[in-house]
Amino acid sequence: MNYPHPIIAKEGWPFIAGAFALAAILTSFAAFWSLPFWLIFIFCIQFFRDPGRVIAGGPKSVLAPADGRIVVVEEADDPYLNRRALKVSVFMNVFNVHSNRSPIQSAVQAKWYKPGSFLNAALDKASMENERCALHLKTIDGRDITCVQIAGLVARRILNYVDSGTTLTAGQRYGFIRFGSRVDLYLPLDSRVKVVIGEKVQATSTILAELS
């Protein structure tokens, strides 16, 4: 199932329309001073782009939940399910697509929202100190995955559209983070990770790991 609003994310239209209106008004009075607002308009269009994506892998494939760069691959404590897990983190800069997608077919078991700081999301301590929204996902064969949206230095709004009981297909769009952020995945320890630190990934098109 692919997100049915191609090209531009629905979250972006108020920003795009506002920037366009300001730029157009200023152009009619002082064209030179309107240039920064036209640049903001162009930035909003590129930031809120939301292209369709190929959904890779099979039923045990854990897909990238966001576009970006891998900044963490390690064994770590999952603070939501109180277990040891494999942690894989994707950092999104302001030039990445910011739609968040379900990493695997699953059912949402629980949802936690934690207010916090707005540190650089590339830093590891952002996982525990920044504003974040976590989902406990259970796959069709009973495996547990924790998927955490984390606000960044510029990001000031995490949008999450699902709740406990929601069934997600692999690659289904479930949220958006505005203006720079990160997504952490906590996977079962026996998962086979397919990415390395520094690798660039695309939501749903890149396989992060395979479940055993």
CA distances from 175 to 2, 10, 29, 99, 158 (A): 13, 11, 39, 6, 8
Please give the pLDDT value at position 146.
Answer: 98
Please give the pLDDT value at position 28.
Answer: 84
Under a CB-based contact definition with an 8 Å cutoff, are residues 53 and 21 in contact?
Answer: no
Q: Which of these is catalytic: 61, 89, 127, 181?
A: 181
- Amino acid sitting at position 33: W
pLDDT in tens, 76-131: 999 999 999 999 999 998 888 888 999 999 999 999 998 866 555 555 655 666 78
Task: With CA atoms as reference, report the closest residue to 104 among 67, 60, 70, 40.
Answer: 60
Please give the pLDDT value at position 156.
Answer: 59
Q: What are the residue ranges spanned by the domains of the chain?
A: 7-50, 61-210
- In this prediction, residue 1 has a pLDDT band, given cuts at 50, 70 and 90, of very low
Six token digits for residue 53: 């994506």
Q: In the CATH hierarchy, which fold is given to the domain comprising 61-210?
A: Glucose Permease (Domain IIA) (2.70.70)
Please give the pLDDT value at position 192.
Answer: 97
Please give the pLDDT value at position 157.
Answer: 75
Residue of higher predicted confidence among 209 and 159: 209
- Starting from the edge strand earliest in sequence, which strands make up the sheet with 192-193, in order? 61-63, 207-210, 192-193
Please give the pLDDT value at position 126.
Answer: 57
Half-sphere exposure of 207 (CA within 13 A, CB side): 13
Mean pLDDT is lowest, of 56-70, 171-185, 188-202, for: 171-185
Q: Is 181 a catalytic residue?
A: yes
